[in-house]
A and B are shown apart, each in its own frame.
Chain A
Amino acid sequence: MNLYEHEAKEILAQYGVPVPEGRVVDTAADAEAAAKAFPGHKFAVKAQILAGGRGLAGGVELAATPSKVGEIAKRLLGSKLITPQTRASGETVSRVYVEAAVDSDKDIFLAVLVDQSTSQISVLGSSAGGVDFEERVKHEPGIVEQLTLRADGSFEDADGDVFLHKIGLPQSAYAPARDIISALIKVFVRIDASLIEINPLTLTRDGALCAVDAKISIDNNALFRHPEFAGLSSGSDGDEIEMQAQKDEINLVRLDGNIGVVVNGAGLALATQDIISDKGGRAANFMDIRTTATSLQVARGIGILLGDPSVKSILLHVHGGGMTPCDTIAEALAIALSRSQRKVPVITRLAGHNAEYARQMLVDRHIPHENFETISSAVQRAIAHAA
């Protein structure tokens, strides 16, 4: 679950991380009024979307007067921002965050996450903070420094100072920066975050540190012990249909192709997608049906694909395992088709647990479909139908 910037900053502020003064609004008039109430005379207007890459996509603008703030808010509200992390159609801006802008002397990148190779909480930093950090780090992974923590998540002041020196902060900022890092680690553990990213942490012209942007992702698996997040407006990633699928025990990621793909298991789903792409097709989605999903839940997942006009064929690829037998998915297909107004060619490839039984079930129930023994022949057919 990703938090919006304003939600992330509210949490950080509670733990003592300095953030600019700001207000979230959903009308241009409120944006202008918010700016008027701030001290100073430089403002930032920031589209509240969950995808990253917002700055380069025109989602953040500076304004010198409250009326300019209103104009920018008017333009952003209701518009769609397209970034490398959104779908091709973009993410709609329904709220903007109005902030007092700070004068930057230096922009730092800071992140807290679990390092998979050490299985420990880790702090990453870079002197190359700012909007183009993600692009730069792809080509220069060496610009990222790591602060090694003790098992309890704390660190020696001296180690902290070495790290802060490497990421380009002046000595005068070491003590407050160490406090910020300690606070971030504390937040990370308390709220079961999977990622906290401050980009940039700005060193202002008067020598203060300030978290000018903030991203927090919460570990979905830990939400059961965090009822405080249940009321937040944030979604798993801002796509309502994908969130709906989550509730049905299905990991769904919508893509921009025309072949609807129904697969059990993330690995098999990726493998299927690879074969589709190799053969020149384009998947409309990634789907990983969790082992706990019932046939009714899977039917709703298939229903999403049937209801999407860009989906021209459906490839149902199941390798029945110990927990998801093929007949559960075949049953789901039958239910989904019986509920759907739209007819879409269905291609199946069923293997593993109860494959034979599932095939017979589809035949007996007169479910229109074409079954194939091998993955590649099924994929080939699904592509031919979608073309």
Chain B
Amino acid sequence: MSILADANTKLIVQGMTGRSGTFYTDQAMTYGTNVVGGVRPGKGGKTHIGRSVFNTVKDAKTATGANASMVMVPAQHAAAAMIESIEAEIPLIVCVTERIPVLDMVRVKDALNGSASELVGANSQGVLTPGACKIGVMSTADARPGHIGIASRSASLTSEVVASLSAIGLGQSTTVGIGGDPVHGIGFVRCLELFAADPDTHGIVLVGEIGGNEEEQAAAFLKQAKIRKPVVSLVVGRHAPAQRRMGHAGTLSVYGSGTAQSKNAALKAAGACVVNDVEDVAQAMVDAMVPA
């Protein structure tokens, strides 16, 4: 078991015929993901890397029974692609595309409201259920099937955490990149709900960053949901200068977004095992999983 993606996932790729679409679709198939087709307006009826291409998501869904879509469409068209999948009622949409205008994401979120879809991303490395299904662009070299769920705002740190967990003998149930953009699909809270309900996930790692209030929301949820699985959390950016913007991580404190210190305090108060450095995550999980 796992969350979001598994051996029953039937994936279509929006933007499959593009350069990165081709490359990552091929990689996903090599990994064992069941890719059932691709979407590229105007190229319907053709075959690309051994898979049928459709003009619309609806056509692809009707023909293949797809239940997931990976969006690898350039930023200018990514919002429309996501909305198309939402309207076609695709249950899982994973958007990898970076640098989508924030007001486009506001429109996508509006379309998601009350829909049948879960959105992961945008600007996400994707969803990986090791050994079963890869939807995204993450490295899979160090991932091992197992029982630790990871929800992360950072692709590079997820790789680091996955490698250290595998090295210490802890495989992963599913890793989810919630995306580095301010407005995005599912967040820590939804991941926690899903991991809590998944019998095969025995421990959860949250990888957060300064900026936004996602970690505070996760803390509030942990407090009231009383999850009986160990939660290890890491929030990076403890030493980032408060007033300068840092990549996708930073935002202005004036607008109510927390510092690493305040996020850590909230998570700790909610019962999470808070670690300071990425090198400490795996050992903390080992320690947390020993029944007291």
Residue numbers of A with Cβ under 8 A of B are 52-53, 84-85, 111, 113-114, 116-117, 119-121, 124, 134, 137-138, 141, 144, 151, 189, 192, 194-195, 219-222, 224-225, 237, 251, 253, 255, 263-271, 273-278, 286, 288, 290-292, 319-323, 351-353, 374-376
Contact across chains for B183 and A119 when beta carbons are under 8 A apart: yes
- Note all chain A residues with C-beta closer than 8 A to B257: 116
Contact across chains for A141 and B256 when beta carbons are under 8 A apart: yes
Given contacts A277-B238, A323-B137, contact A270 B101 (CB under 8 A): no
- Note all chain B residues with C-beta closer than 8 A to A221: 75, 99-102
- Provide the bound-state CA to CA distance between A151 and B141, in Å: 43
Contact across chains for A237 and B245 when beta carbons are under 8 A apart: yes
The DSSP consensus for interface residues of chain A is mixed
In the complex, which residue of chain A has the Cβ closest to the Cβ of B183? A119
Chain B 100-116 per-residue mask, 1 if CB under 8 angstroms from chain A, else 0 = 11111110011000000
Write the nearest CB–CB distance from B5 to chain A, whole angstroms: 16
- Note all chain A residues with C-beta closer than 8 A to B246: 251, 253, 266, 269-270, 286, 288
Contact across chains for A288 and B159 when beta carbons are under 8 A apart: no
Write the nearest CB–CB distance from A193 to chain B, whole angstroms: 9
29 A-B pairs whose Cβ atoms sit less than 8 Å apart in the complex: A53-B243, A84-B243, A192-B101, A219-B101, A221-B102, A237-B245, A253-B246, A266-B154, A267-B153, A267-B155, A267-B180, A267-B249, A268-B154, A270-B209, A271-B160, A274-B236, A274-B238, A274-B239, A277-B238, A319-B163, A320-B159, A321-B159, A322-B125, A322-B136, A351-B159, A374-B279, A375-B279, A376-B277, A376-B279
Contact across chains for B110 and A151 when beta carbons are under 8 A apart: yes
- Note all chain A residues with C-beta closer than 8 A to B47: none
Q: Does B24 contact A (CB under 8 A)?
A: yes
Write the nearest CB–CB distance from A326 to chain B, whole angstroms: 10
Contact across chains for B255 and A274 when beta carbons are under 8 A apart: no
In the complex, which residue of chain A has the Cβ closest to the Cβ of B255? A113
Contact across chains for A268 and B156 when beta carbons are under 8 A apart: yes
Write the nearest CB–CB distance from A49 to chain B, whole angstroms: 14
Q: Does B283 contact A (CB under 8 A)?
A: no
Classify chain B: how many residues form its interface, as a range.
35 or more
Write the nearest CB–CB distance from B40 to chain A, whole angstroms: 21
Given contacts A113-B255, A251-B247, A321-B155, contact A270 B237 (CB under 8 A): yes
Write the nearest CB–CB distance from A90 to chain B, whole angstroms: 14
Write the nearest CB–CB distance from A164 to chain B, whole angstroms: 20
Write the nearest CB–CB distance from B130 to chain A, whole angstroms: 14
Q: Does B202 contact A (CB under 8 A)?
A: no
Knowing that A53-B243, A144-B256, A221-B100 touch, tell me 4 more A-B residue pairs with CB under 8 angstroms.
Answer: A265-B155, A266-B246, A268-B154, A321-B139
Write the nearest CB–CB distance from A242 to chain B, whole angstroms: 10
- Note all chain B residues with C-beta closer than 8 A to A376: 277, 279
Contact across chains for B106 and A121 when beta carbons are under 8 A apart: yes
Write the nearest CB–CB distance from A359 to chain B, whole angstroms: 15
- Note all chain A residues with C-beta closer than 8 A to B248: 266, 288
- Provide the bound-state CA to CA distance between A200 and B98, in Å: 35
- Note all chain B residues with C-beta closer than 8 A to A237: 245
Contact across chains for A114 and B182 when beta carbons are under 8 A apart: yes
Q: Does B67 contact A (CB under 8 A)?
A: no
In the complex, which residue of chain B has the Cβ closest to the Cβ of A122? B255
Choice from A124, A220, A352, A375 contacting B159 with Cβ under 8 Å: A352
Contact across chains for B103 and A192 when beta carbons are under 8 A apart: yes
- Note all chain A residues with C-beta closer than 8 A to B50: none
- Note all chain B residues with C-beta closer than 8 A to A265: 154-157
Q: Does B55 contact A (CB under 8 A)?
A: no
Chain B 193-232 per-residue mask, 1 if CB under 8 angstroms from chain A, else 0 = 0000000000000010110111001000000000000000
